[in-house]
Chains A and B, each alone.
Chain A
């Protein structure tokens, strides 16, 4: 067994951070090398630098461990059990490696011992040189590596991993649920303090946000699942926390560092704080808004600024919250509200653009202010897509849509097996975006069953085809489906 670095034993989190930092480099450099090997001959000078850089990264790994393995599992890449982060910087390389490894049915690549430039180049050439249609690509790669004296690199075939144990999933969901409702409670406490003129303790919100970030960095779907629940007595608090979750997930996808994520999270929690000064008869009105109602509602961004300015010290956190409160309805083209003296010169803060997306999506999928009948998630995304360039920054909108997925969490679908299911986890790999993980909730006759998970990427070995596929999308609101039953 390979010697495990001492700090991996004593401090797995320390080791993980170390691997995460290098993992990004490894993924990017490996992708560059493989891509160039697909274009150039082995001896081409264009391969020199990429080979050197890959060897460099591997040598850093090898300082702390004699072997490092890049492994594919479902649609994620791992380095020694640590999942490589998928974010804006790694997206292109990540997707490329996923695809190339899957097409060659390579499950893992192990770099055992020092890898010099020549070995790296040989590996790249061998890997890229194997046709996708080769009957046994893994065996062929291994054979050619040995023939090329690349003894320190081995590949293994891809094995579909077993289902994540249900108890692990349940633990994560419990933790997510606890974190979610604690955040709600913190926010309620803050609002109460504001209304009573008491001192506000921002640190409680900070802790809630940091807890959300911790959960989210491990996995997103539990928290995102909780955002599908809308039938609360006082929806404002849940809306604020939902927006925070969406914003943080988006921020994470973009690779924002933790300190920035905290500011983003707190400012998104407070984005609608101005609504506490709008009569609740208007905010909670079950019927359509009148013009006068709208005029009052449209004051909430400015009211939020004032409320936040009363919080005991003015610092970066309160200021960024004031900014997001003011700007989140301005729109990308500045034609939103509040009205500005000079629209042309205003450029929204990056966090405001993120929160604008999260806010619109959550609002559209709730039966609240913007329309009495909530949109289904896919419809909401469709409407948002039409507003690209006007309401929303186009590139950011794309990342948001990709994050939410073709079938957002909470979507009710009919499978081609005639089972009804709820989407509970999206699939990050673009090629499998239409194959999420689902909770099957009825049998083929429509009878409710105890929910069980199913992965739509799963292939039936007898037929070689997918076991289940999405046939239709249904409106979960129309049928009053109790999502709480499945996500709490």
Chain B
């Protein structure tokens, strides 16, 4: 006979049982789909980088799977076993591959149950995926799935964890002596007797000050007055505490750790060789970390400190100074600079001034590796490298020149750019070598850089006057003129008097004549006047172009004689010449 007080179980034969079964079946199916989606997503994410569109699509796919799962239920709960995942007692995932087994990943770190809640955001999905990616590398990291889940504190992902087995709280070895069997302790009777005695000791024999009665604390009899109330915090206290909590310097861990290691270095100098070496090595590791993080100012300062220490022979002996030298070198060697380049390409935030400060503190061995970094993707990063190489190159031009053997034309071009800015006439001899370089952008840069070097560049620029590229030829003649050197005047005169001069395009003609005026100055007046007034029967328009160009070039020479010539040319029958002359005189008058 059934007990009327007992609710019949909702078994299969009961109407409610059928509904319950259907619900459970649906939950299991939902959980299975979701776990399958997670497994698939995890695999895909290993194949692509975060900035790859497929990576993003994969995560979006999982978000969609979550959305689908929560259409009919508030939460999805799965149970974790050693190699399989269950829902409602049914296995929904298992894999024989222990290395890549999702269940094993969670089980190993103690997770026995996971619940995903409706409302899980895309960010939480991405973070959860990040956790299971990182959790698989916990042997290398200081975290496992549990610590990562705890820190991420995902609002819509809950878990239960069993703690690792060690640390039995009943282990006698761990317990205080008073908690072990047989511990004989305590003399409460004596304590009570002393306490109730009217003149008995108050507490432990220490000095107890008598206190004035204070409302609310009148029954306090044995406590120092200044601690009668919990020390109330006033506004100033709260303000100071907030400042301390929010102090940005708390986050400058790397800087502070470096400072500490330097202090210890000074403590150990001359007293503890092994300790000194260890501290130096630690500083090297910290320096490397700083470089990877883009904290270049820190490294620049550290290198500066090393430099000072190297100069202090009283405090640091030869062996210690050698160690410092080695570390100083290690923080600017090829490997370090390559890592810096990789970090810059990855887009780490940094201060360009700080990076430059670090780079210019390096020695000449850094120049070639830095030349390699002239191929960085972002211009702002390249600019910093260029600026640093300009500084370093002024001291070590030979090292910079060695970089010109690089096979990448853009690296060579950038080095040529730098050579032009070294304010060193010797660079001209190097730059003229590129006249036969197959890359026009390299040749153009060589011309521009030569143009910055003044008279010593005249010979080199002259070589580019016959370049195959008309733009390079133009640039060469203009820069040549700007050198204002006799050599430049001589070369340009040769070209003007050559047969081919009359066949030059107008722009080139003007460039030559302007350059001639600039280079030769007043000495150019006779030839320019001659060209401005020379006639001819053939190719009239060309003759007029030359006349006009010569007239304009006369305007660049500011002497009474040139004004006189221009005055006469202002009455020339050729309207272009007249116009050019008058324009030149007007400009002069301004």
Residues of A within 8 A of B (CB): 6-7, 9-11, 13-14, 17, 88, 91-92, 177-178, 180-186, 189, 201-204, 206-207, 210-211, 229-233, 238, 254-256, 258-259, 262, 302, 305-306, 309, 312-317, 319-320, 322-323, 326-327, 338, 340-341, 347, 349-351, 353, 375-376, 378-379, 381-382, 385, 393-399, 401-402, 405-406, 412, 414, 416, 418, 420, 430-431, 433-434, 441-442, 445-448, 469-475, 477-485, 488
B206 contacts A395, CB within 8 Å?
no
- Contacting residues of chain B (287-326) with chain A, CB-CB under 8 angstroms: 289
Given A313-B141, A323-B260, list of 18 further CB < 8 A pairs? A11-B117, A17-B155, A180-B169, A185-B174, A201-B142, A229-B178, A254-B245, A306-B278, A317-B142, A379-B203, A385-B226, A394-B237, A406-B223, A414-B195, A473-B203, A479-B188, A488-B175, A488-B179
Which residues of B does A touch, CB under 8 Å? 74-75, 115, 117-119, 138, 141-144, 146-147, 150-151, 153, 155-156, 158, 163-164, 166-169, 171, 173-179, 183, 185-196, 201-206, 216-217, 219-224, 226-233, 236-238, 240-242, 244-245, 247, 249-250, 253-254, 256-257, 260-261, 263-264, 266-267, 275, 278-279, 282, 285-286, 289
Which A residues are CB-close (under 8 A) to B168? 181
**Residue among A6, A312, A393, A478 with the most chain B CB within 10 A?**
A478
In the bound complex, residues from chain B placing their C-beta under 8 Å from that of A473 are 202-203, 222-223
- For the complex formed, measure the closest distance between the CB of B581 and the CB atoms of chain A, giving whole angstroms: 72
Measured in the bound complex, the distance between the Cα atoms of B201 and A475 in whole Å is: 9
Complex CA–CA separation, A257 to B143 (angstroms): 18
A349 touches B250 (CB 8 A): yes
A376 lies within 8 A of B185 (CB): no
B238 to chain A, nearest CB (A): 7
16 contacts between A and B (CB under 8 A): A7-B117, A10-B118, A91-B238, A92-B238, A181-B169, A210-B150, A229-B178, A233-B177, A255-B245, A256-B245, A395-B238, A406-B227, A406-B228, A471-B221, A473-B203, A488-B175
Q: Are A203 and B158 in contact (CB under 8 A)?
A: no
The reply to whether A10 and B74 contact each other, CB–CB distance below 8 Å, is: yes
B75, B142, B193, B201 — most chain A CB neighbours (10 Å)? B142
Contact of B188 among A182, A402, A442 (CB under 8 A): A442
Cβ contact within 8 Å between B175 and A484 = yes
Give which listed residue, A203, A395, A431, A441, contacts B237 with CB less than 8 A: A395
B141–A203 touching, CB < 8 Å = yes
Decide if B178 touches A484 in the complex (CB within 8 Å). Answer: yes
Q: Name the distance in Å between A421's Cβ and chain B's nearest Cβ.
A: 11
List of A residues within 8 angstroms of B261 by Cβ: 305, 309
Contact assessment for A13 and B166 in the assembled complex, using a CB-CB cutoff below 8 Å: no
Query: If the complex has contacts A378-B223, A481-B185, are A323 and B175 also in contact, measured as CB distance less than 8 A?
Result: no
Chain A residue contacts of B194, Cβ below 8 A? 474
Partner of A480, one of B115, B186, B189, B203: B186
Give Cα A341–Cα B119 distance, bound, in whole angstroms.
56
Q: Are B204 and A478 in contact (CB under 8 A)?
A: yes
B143 touching A376, Cβ below 8 Å: no
Q: Is the CB of B192 within 8 A of A446?
A: yes
B167 touches A319 (CB 8 A): no
Give the distance in Å from the alpha carbon of A149 to the alpha carbon of B144 in the complex: 57
**Chain A: CB-nearest residue to B156:** A14
Q: Given A182-B169, A470-B220, verify A482-B143 contact (CB < 8 Å).
A: no
Q: Please determine whether B229 and A182 come into contact, CB atoms closer than 8 angstroms.
A: no
Q: Contacts A10-B75, A474-B194: A484 and B179 contacting too (C-beta < 8 A)? A: yes
Most buried by A among B147, B201, B275, B278: B147
Residues of A within 8 A of B238 (CB): 88, 91-92, 395
- Chain B residues closer than 8 Å to A17, beta-carbon distance: 155
Pick the residue among A9, A184, A396, A414 that contacts B196 (CB under 8 A): A414
Q: How far is the CB of A271 from chain B (nearest CB, A)?
A: 14
- Residues in B with CB closer than 8 Å to A306 are 264, 275, 278-279, 282
> Could you tell me the distance in whole angstroms from the C-beta of A359 to the nearest C-beta in chain B?
18
Question: A203 is contacted by which of B143, B193, B260 (Cβ under 8 Å)?
Answer: B143
Residues in chain A near residue B230, CB distance under 8 A:
401-402, 405-406, 430, 433
Asked if B142 contacts A206 (CB within 8 A), the reply is: yes
Closest to A88 in B: B241
Q: Nearest chain B CB to A46's CB is how many angstroms away?
A: 19
Contacts of B216 in A (CB 8 A): 431, 434
Look across to chain A and name the residue whose beta carbon is closest to the beta carbon of B187: A479
If the complex has contacts A88-B242, A406-B230, A442-B188, are A181 and B171 also in contact, measured as CB distance less than 8 A?
yes
